[in-house]
Structure 1
Amino acid sequence: MKQFLVVLIGLSVFTLVVLAAPNPTRKSCCLKYSKSVPNVNIIEKYKIQENDGSCRIKAVVFMIKGKRICSNPKDERVKKLVQKLSKRKQRG
């Protein structure tokens, strides 16, 4: 019985340590939307963040000088911006 209790406590501590450790996937998630929409000329690249369990919200993530701008994909300005960037990407 003592061994079972020691193993159970050990597993509990291990689980807490693993859950408390920083998760690199979650760390790169947008948690809220920026109020501003960046200018198309300064955007280096963009990606779509899905609400897939590892991230809480769906977002369009624009990269500008190594910084991330998280935008609401339902915003009409963001939709138009993504269309422009997609066309620019296709042209090369």
Structure 2
Amino acid sequence: MDVNLVTVLAVLAVTVSRTSETLFPGAFSCCMKISDEIPKALLRRVERFEIQKVDGLCHLEAVILYIESKKFCVSPWIRKLKKWMKRNKHKTQRKKLHGRKQRRAKIKQKQRKQ
């Protein structure tokens, strides 16, 4: 193959992959495999977690654990993990409040502090 053709194909492949990630972000964040075991030491280092439900894009139910910018997919039926999730509900990703609700939340926080 010609070197220029190879370069053009490589640039095209990168462009297509970045465009598809932008257009379909959920398709690239689904867990495809899950682990059936998780060490306690790993659970202690979890910064946050998400629950992946079975829907149009993702075909596997899983818990996604984020540890130092890495993503680990784990089975949601592990007893140890269920107990840990109950104790660490605050580590779930929360939706941001907008507009009026956000102002009300800030006012309530100020009132609690006083």
- TM-score class, shorter: 0.5 to 0.7
Distance 1:31 1:84 in 2: 27
Match of residue 33 from structure 1? 34
Structure 1 residue 35, shift from structure 2 partner? 4.3
**How high is the TM-score relative to the length of structure 2?**
0.52
CA contact (8 A) 2:37 2:78 kept: no
SS of the residue 1:79 aligns to: helix
Q: Name the structure 2 match of 1:82.
A: 85
Q: Is 1:66 matched up with 2:69? A: yes
Mapped contact 2:50–2:64 kept (Cα < 8 A): yes
Aligned CA RMSD, in angstroms, stands at 2.2
Bigger fraction of residues in helix: 2
Gaps of at least 5 residues in structure 2 are: 1-19, 92-114
Aligned residues: 69
Give the % identical residues.
31
Alpha-carbon distance between aligned partners in 1 of 2:72 and 2:43, rounded to the nearest angstrom: 12
Larger RCO (CA under 8 A, 6+ residues apart): 1
1:3-22 deviation digits (Å, cap 9, x = unpaired): xxxxxxxxxxxxxxxxxx56
Matches of 2:33 and 2:46, distance apart in 1: 19
CA contact (8 A) 2:52 2:61 kept: yes
What TM-score, normalized to structure 1? 0.64
Q: Please list every run of 5 or more consecutive structure 1 residues that lacks an aligned counterpart in the other structure.
A: 1-20
The structural deviation recorded for 1:83 is: 1.3
CA contact (8 A) 1:40 1:85 kept: no
